[in-house]
A and B are shown apart, each in its own frame.
Chain A
Amino acid sequence: KNQVEQSPQSLIILEGKNCTLQCNYTVSPFSNLRWYKQDTGRGPVSLTIMTFSENTKSNGRYTATLDADTKQSSLHITASQLSDSASYICVVSGWGSGNTGKLIFGQGTTLQVKP
């Protein structure tokens, strides 16, 4: 069964600290993996997109890694800021109908950054 599991479910850290969010998936065959940031009351915003051949991709203070062998991804946030408080959603695309592929969504990790 195609699944995406994220951990932890929620996380509280102090401003300025680093943190790492995890995403494990069983989607096969694999096409790409995306990390989204969703602020409360807003739509998700794309942070990174990685294909099978990419091991790491950065977007400012956000760095995503991908291990396609173990089917694991992580999102590392460096020097956290209050504005990083949001939900982070991992989305895996497998090959499916049409050209976009089937999207399997994780339940998200809720991050709270405290001053």
Chain B
Amino acid sequence: DAGVIQSPRHEVTEMGQEVTLRCKPISGHDYLFWYRQTMMRGLELLIYFNNNVPIDDSGMPEDRFSAKMPNASFSTLKIQPSEPRDSAVYFCASTHRRGTDTQYFGPGTRLTVL
């Protein structure tokens, strides 16, 4: 398996533009997670899905952020409109089952909002 795939790897955009990040989880994994990492705040869980259904979105910072998982092999994280403070590395991770199963992270998308 190729592991968790994220695209793009780097994104530079201007404030106010819409940004869409993409993730393909490992085949057969039932859980998908979106994280954000910054120097100031470290790693933060934004939202996670189980069987394509959003379970906990309490980490989503505000209404400008939205996430979807239309099928088991694809998820998006959208920011509209983007702001400079959204600049961070966004990771997607997946795991097969709950609890103590290992989460496998993608390589991340480095987002810069000018």
Pick from B44, B93, B100 the residue with the most CB of A within 10 Å.
Answer: B100
Given contacts A97-B56, A98-B55, contact A43 B98 (CB under 8 A): no
B43 lies within 8 A of A105 (CB) = yes
Given contacts A43-B107, A97-B58, contact A89 B43 (CB under 8 A): yes
Contacts of A98 in B (CB 8 A): 48, 50, 55-56, 98
Given contacts A99-B98, A100-B99, contact A43 B105 (CB under 8 A): yes
Interface residue SS majority, chain A: loop
Looking at the assembled complex, report how far the CB atom of B107 sits from the nearest CB atom of chain A, in whole angstroms.
Answer: 6
B100 lies within 8 A of A49 (CB) = yes
Pick from A43, A46, A101, A106 the residue with the most CB of B within 10 Å.
Answer: A43
- The chain B residue sitting closest to A105, CB to CB, is B43
Give the A interface residue count (CB, 8 A): 24
Looking at the assembled complex, report how far the CB atom of B31 sits from the nearest CB atom of chain A, in whole angstroms.
Answer: 6
B58 lies within 8 A of A99 (CB) = no
Q: How far is the CA of A46 from the CA of B103 in the complex (A)?
A: 7
Give the B interface residue count (CB, 8 A): 23
Cβ 8 A contact of B55, one of A42, A97, A106: A97
By Cβ-Cβ distance, the 5 closest A-B pairs, closest first, are A43-B105, A99-B98, A98-B55, A46-B102, A105-B43
Q: Would you call A81 an interface residue if the criterion is a C-beta within 8 Å of the partner chain's C-beta atoms?
A: no
Residues facing A in B33-66 (CB within 8 A) are 42-45, 48, 50, 55-56, 58
Give per-residue flags for B14-42: 1 if the beta carbon is below 8 A from chain A beta carbons, else 0: 00000000000000000100000000001
Could you list which residues of chain A lie within 8 angstroms of chain B, going by C-beta atoms?
31-32, 41-46, 49, 51, 89, 91, 96-103, 105-108
Q: How far is the CA of A1 from the CA of B102 in the complex (A)?
A: 26
Q: How far is the CA of A44 from the CA of B92 in the complex (A)?
A: 11
B105 lies within 8 A of A32 (CB) = no
A43 lies within 8 A of B100 (CB) = no
Cβ 8 A contact of A42, one of B45, B50, B98, B107: B107
Given contacts A42-B107, A46-B103, contact A105 B44 (CB under 8 A): yes
Q: How far is the CA of A44 from the CA of B95 in the complex (A)?
A: 14
A100 lies within 8 A of B48 (CB) = yes
